[in-house]
């Protein structure tokens, strides 16, 4: 089943706005839950109130990050064990955390392993900077990130592991990757996963596209043979826009 995940990032500013947004999405997402796995990923403060709205809706809840230890003297961090009570998914390695918070491949690998050990599904983000893209080394960059991120994982983790390809130069820029480039990179991701944890496991791992996804361009990605859905940023903050993305994804996969 495809996944459409809404990464709200550090938005919206209030709980009331968060609840209005999730209620706006639910009217469509609830009706597509048998064809698309919809995941809402709000900031930490809104996880609990949003979880109450999502209860028994079929729509999943996810966190935008986690730490790799279960507990301890790690001020400001949140462990997978704390999230598992109401979340089903967590993002690790998002490009903004790599860029602004100096998150390394090693840290991403530890977070992924810890989250999977706590029975959370993991959306592991990989992607190249504009400099890498311009220099023609996108493949080497993405492959290295995948290899590092899977360092502590095995084939047993594959059913709960998702890799999201997000070209960093496209995020928030209004630019989006050419579908052919996205296809080649997602094919590389799946091949790299296969080399590390086996071809059978690679078929279970879902691969998403993320990078200025919106209702107007989503079809060009989800119709690609190796694309299993999208990680949506800015467009997920508009209930009508995000609902259209969910509907388009359901329709495309319904004809596969």
Per DSSP, the three-state class of 91 is: strand
166 belongs to the catalytic site: yes
Cis peptide before 12 (omega within 30 of 0): yes
> Contact, 85 vs 55, CB < 8 A?
no
Tell me the per-residue pLDDT of 104-127, one tens digit each, with 9 for 90 and over: 999 999 999 999 999 999 999 999
pLDDT of residue 256 exceeding 80: no
* pTM, rounded to two decimals: 0.95
From the candidates 37, 96, 103, 166, which is the catalytic residue? 166
CA 52 to chain centroid, in Å, comes to: 22
96 belongs to the catalytic site: no
> Contact, 138 vs 132, CB < 8 A?
yes
From the candidates 37, 94, 96, 132, which is the catalytic residue? 94
Write down the pLDDT at residue 46: 98
> Contact, 115 vs 70, CB < 8 A?
no
Tell me the per-residue pLDDT of 153-180, one tens digit each, with 9 for 90 and over: 877 888 899 999 999 887 766 677 889 9
Which stretches within 150-198 are classed as H helix? 179-197
How many whole angstroms separate alpha carbon 251 and alpha carbon 172? 26
């Amino acid at each position: 089943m495809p996944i459409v995940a809404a990464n709200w990032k550090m938005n919206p500013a209030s709980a009331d706005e968060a609840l209005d947004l999730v209620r706006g999405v639910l009217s469509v997402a609830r009706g597509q839950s048998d064809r698309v796995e919809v995941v809402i990923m709000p900031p930490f403060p809104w996880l609990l109130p949003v979880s109450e709205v999502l209860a028994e809706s079929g729509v999943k809840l996810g966190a935008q990050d986690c730490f790799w230890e279960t507990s301890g003297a790690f001020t400001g961090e949140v462990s997978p064990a704390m999230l598992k009570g109401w979340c089903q998914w967590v993002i690790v390695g998002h490009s903004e955390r790599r860029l602004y918070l100096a998150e390394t491949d090693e840290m991403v690998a530890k977070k992924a392993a810890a989250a999977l050990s706590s029975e959370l599904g993991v959306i592991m983000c990989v992607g190249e900077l504009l400099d890498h893209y311009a220099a023609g080394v996108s493949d080497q960059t993405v492959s290295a990130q995948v290899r590092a991120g899977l360092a502590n994982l095995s084939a047993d983790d594959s059913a709960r592991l998702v890799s999201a390809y997000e070209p960093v130069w496209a995020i928030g820029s209004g630019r989006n990757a050419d579908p052919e480039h996205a296809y080649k990179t997602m094919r590389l991701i799946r091949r790299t996963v296969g080399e590390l944890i086996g071809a059978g496991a690679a078929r279970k791992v879902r691969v998403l596209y993320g990078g200025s996804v919106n209702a107007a361009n989503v079809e060009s990605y989800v119709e690609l043979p190796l694309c299993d859905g999208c990680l949506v940023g800015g467009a997920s903050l508009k209930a009508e826009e995000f609902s259209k993305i969910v509907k388009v994804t359901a329709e495309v996969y319904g004809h596969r």
